[in-house]
Structure 1
Amino acid sequence: MEVKEDIVIVGAGIAGLTTSLGLHREGIRSLVLEGSDSLRTTGFAFTTWTNAWKALDAVGIGDSLRQRHERFNGVSTTSTISGVQTSEMSFMANGKQGDHEVRCVVRKVLLEALSKELPSGTIRFSSKVVAIEDSGFSKLLHLADGTIIRTKVLIGCDGVNSVVGRWLGLGKLSFTGRRAIRGCTFLTESHGFEPKFMQFFGEGVRSGVLPCNDNSVYWFFTWTPSGQEKVKEDNPAELKQFVMSKLGKMPEKVKAVIENTTLDCILSSPLNYRNPLKLLWGNISEGNACVAGDALHPMTPDIGQGGCCALEDGIVLARCLAEALMKEPSKKSEGEEEEEEYYRIEVGLKKYAKERKWRSFDLISTSYMVGFFQQSDGKLMTFLRDTCLAKFLAGLLLKKASFDCGKLKLS
């Protein structure tokens, strides 16, 4: 059975739903295909910096999310070797970077907020794309259930293992050699933390604790496994025990958050990234197809910009596509109109790719560099990080968060 759709977005994650909602705000319908049977909430929560809130405001859901998540007043850095705080930076009217809005948003809450604003039937679950085929000015998408969808525009927002990315020839990801363990603690009473991003470093380990609201706290832990450290990645109890053994001189109140995390709220994953040089000579878009989100710019979490950048992608992509599709077609034959529309779509996607290529290159490179300095071990590197680099690295987070993706044309 063949179905026709104007725009198909593969993946109902942050980038996919933001793009779809951005198009909806511009009066353009899209279909979102999601391989899972429900919204994917892997990762629990993520830091939303100033640039992310500009994107959320552009699609009209910023205020509703603000009501459910605390605004941070700053970030602190503490050594787990000495137990001494090495730096603290305010997010309020901070020098050259100005006033910053930073919160930790629960991923499920964000995805539900995006999906609720979409027209009924926009998201089709249990719809896995297994093959892509060119067909004139259209793409044919072959689904696992045998359905074939013919579309004028194909957008891949299907994560680090993107089928659309492979079709575009973006290639495999690189492994940093590091891994991350993440968790989220949901309490029945207030956790008592002030609204602040707390970072901890020492002995080749980086961790952080971020309150989302009065009753929930997100935490992360990254490290470089050695031959002697054997941790079963699919065993949450062992993962928690391993993290607890590596926290060093961290405040007991903070340790208690990790200790109280239920096993179903703990997961582990490798830290992969796309080589930024490959991104420069690779294809973000080709003809009437492109990628966004983690399918485009998988990066390490060291500057907290992966999800924020995906939100930016959605706004820029929706705006570029709307500009292309809303131009009045010239009066020609049906075949000529189809060709003209394909050309306008191609130009729109190229404009999007041009805007996002260097931004993605910058964030991937910066994140990798920051991770290297933050997690490096040894006396010299520890001294430099805790004295000279702590404030510089914290300031770098705010600098990258100062980006403005702009507004939608009709918003």
Structure 2
Amino acid sequence: MDEEIYEDIVIVGAGISGLTTALGLHRLGLRSLVLESSECLKFTGYALTTWPNAWRALDAVGVGDLLRKNSILTQGFKVVSSGSIPLGAEQSHDLLLFNFESRCIKRKDLLETLESQLPHGTIRYSSKAVSIEETQTGNFKLLHLADGSLVKTKVLIGCDGGNSMVAKWLGLDDPVSTGRSAIRGLANYNNPDHGHGFDPKFHVYSTLCVHFGFVPCDENSLYWFCNFSPSFHRYNEENQDPLSMIKFVGSQLRDAPPNISNIVERTELHCICYTPLRLKFPWNVLLGRNFVKNNVCVVGDAFHPMTPAIGQGGGSSLEDSIVLARCLGKALATSNFEQEYDDEYIRVEKGLRMYVKERRWRILSLLTAAYIVGFVQHSGNKVISFLRKRFLSKNLVKITARMGDFDCGDLSTIPQKMRI
């Protein structure tokens, strides 16, 4: 064994949920250690749509205004649903009528901003967690790392994504395949005079078994995605070559106006990725009992992976982080420094269970909405396709907007004297 480390609170994963959880705890005076398997922050996915719920969470940890400086306000949806992209009824929906704040922010900006607010040394890179061991009393968890190091902790929080090692240890069901995949990219228009020239709206184009969309991050960059069925399109899922992905998406946009197809063509090869879409069914959350085991819990995609149909993967993770930091902070807040250690251990578990209890119904509603919207968006059924074109697109926008109008609360006032 090369090294043994002790930290009161250990977070596995330096993604959105991991860094936000660490920052929320830091704002409450609680130190944590974040273990990240990579050598640096990872920006796969490139950007994410943020709704009012996400901005309320970002404001709660004090980074909202920092991120607003480098993004533009999304003002609505522009939806085209047809057999071929330029045809069919185009529908526009103005988000400003809902008094919404929605923006598309780059993951790089988000993660680097969160990292910049954390104390030096909070994140330990090149630290891949491979297994978890309980001490005899169960009061501590021993985390074995790939380099032979051992990390001992009183609280273990899994923010390690859809393939979460912590979730597997808890005994949670693996996410299941939707039968669909996403190719995503970031297109840069380095023209200071004109930029990309698109309206600051969420542009969506739905064709048979393909859902393509894009949204400006700022005046010079666009985040785009293409959701599709690999089996229907005979797409080789093992092919991760960026050029082949660009060619494939371009073939789905062959009837689109030149300025649309040009978005994909000008995407740099290091700014494109392929992701199979997986999810956790709503009933898994409704009936699940293993989201907490004494002093271990999960957050974000490790808790509830969902499809991108309503754009709430990142926002729901931010909500989780705020609620967990608040519940754990309240559970650990005490002015009595003479309490027995075992009582402290009980309070940790109680705080984690408070977090799951508060989040369960919100996550259930998000998963259900994402499941329904995704089904309608991607269905090849002729009846559903007809209804989607003529009637349903406006209602899908309303569902998406409604799911984003949520307030998870702030970190609230916690007594200054805290210990763990």
1:158 paired residue number: 160
Provide the rounded CA distance (Å) in 1 between the counterparts of 2:79 and 2:239.
28
2:92 paired residue number: 88
Match of 1:202 among 181, 187, 207: 207
Percent of aligned positions with the same letter in both sequences?
49
Letter in 1 for 2:298: V
Provide the rounded CA distance (Å) in 2 between the counterparts of 1:248 and 1:382.
21
1:222-261 equivalent positions in 2, closer than 5 A = 222-226=227-231, 229-231=234-236, 233-247=239-253, 249-261=255-267
Provide the rounded CA distance (Å) in 2 between the counterparts of 1:395 and 1:318.
31
Describe the SS at the equivalent of 1:298. coil
Match of 2:315 among 282, 305, 308: 308
Q: Does 1:105 align with 2:105?
A: yes
Provide the rounded CA distance (Å) in 2 between the counterparts of 1:238 and 1:331.
64
Q: Is the 8 A contact 1:181 1:221 kept in 2?
A: yes
2:31 paired residue number: 29
Match of 2:190 among 182, 188, 191: 188
Provide the rounded CA distance (Å) in 2 between the counterparts of 1:331 and 1:13.
37
1:271-282 equivalent positions in 2, closer than 5 A = 271-282=277-288
Structure 2 length as normaliser, TM-score?
0.93
**How far did 1:299 drift?**
0.4
Letter in 1 for 2:293: E
1:70 paired residue number: 72
| CA deviation profile, 1:253-299 (whole Å, cap 9, x unmatched) | 12111111122211111000112222233321111110001100100
Q: State the number of aligned residues.
A: 403
Letter in 2 for 1:165: A
Describe the SS at the equivalent of 2:156. strand
Q: Does 1:119 align with 2:151?
A: no
Q: Is the 8 A contact 1:156 1:290 kept in 2?
A: yes
**How far did 1:251 drift?**
3.0
Provide the rounded CA distance (Å) in 1 between the counterparts of 2:69 and 2:239.
35
| CA deviation profile, 1:105-161 (whole Å, cap 9, x unmatched) | 100110000000000000000011111011121111111111111111000000011
Letter in 1 for 2:277: L
Match of 1:398 among 388, 396, 401: 401
**How far did 1:249 drift?**
4.0
| CA deviation profile, 1:305-338 (whole Å, cap 9, x unmatched) | 0000000011000001110111234635xxxx21
Once the two structures are overlaid, the 10-residue window that deviates more, 267-276 or 299-308, is: 267-276
Q: Is the 8 A contact 1:79 1:85 kept in 2?
A: yes
Letter in 2 for 1:230: Y
2:411 paired residue number: 408
2:417 paired residue number: none
Where does structure 1 lack aligned partners over 5 or more consecutive residues? none
Provide the rounded CA distance (Å) in 2 between the counterparts of 1:55 and 1:246.
37
Q: Does 1:296 align with 2:298?
A: no
Provide the rounded CA distance (Å) in 1 between the counterparts of 2:171 and 2:182.
27
Q: Is the 8 A contact 1:83 1:250 kept in 2?
A: no
**How far did 1:171 drift?**
2.1
Change in CA separation of 1:325 and 1:290 when aligned onto 2, cut-off 3 Å: same
Describe the SS at the equivalent of 2:185. strand
**How far did 1:369 drift?**
1.3
Change in CA separation of 1:228 and 1:153 when aligned onto 2, cut-off 3 Å: closer
Provide the rounded CA distance (Å) in 1 between the counterparts of 2:254 and 2:95.
27
Letter in 2 for 1:244: G
Q: Is the 8 A contact 1:34 1:128 kept in 2?
A: yes
1:330-349 equivalent positions in 2, closer than 5 A = 331-332=338-339, 337-349=340-352
Provide the rounded CA distance (Å) in 2 between the counterparts of 1:331 and 1:20.
27
Once the two structures are overlaid, the 10-residue window that deviates more, 50-59 or 260-269, is: 260-269
Provide the rounded CA distance (Å) in 2 between the counterparts of 1:349 and 1:365.
24
1:376 paired residue number: 379
Letter in 1 for 2:211: R
Provide the rounded CA distance (Å) in 1 between the counterparts of 2:309 and 2:320.
19
1:355 paired residue number: 358
Q: Is the 8 A contact 1:159 1:293 kept in 2?
A: yes
Q: Is the 8 A contact 1:76 1:85 kept in 2?
A: no
**How far did 1:4 drift?**
1.5
Structure 1 length as normaliser, TM-score?
0.95
1:328 paired residue number: 335
Describe the SS at the equivalent of 1:131. strand
**How far did 1:83 drift?**
2.5
Q: Is the 8 A contact 1:186 1:217 kept in 2?
A: yes
Describe the SS at the equivalent of 2:90. strand
Where does structure 2 lack aligned partners over 5 or more consecutive residues? 415-420
Letter in 2 for 1:347: K
Provide the rounded CA distance (Å) in 2 between the counterparts of 1:226 and 1:297.
25
2:418 paired residue number: none
| CA deviation profile, 1:49-88 (whole Å, cap 9, x unmatched) | 1100000000001011111001011011112525244321
Describe the SS at the equivalent of 2:224. strand
Describe the SS at the equivalent of 1:331. coil
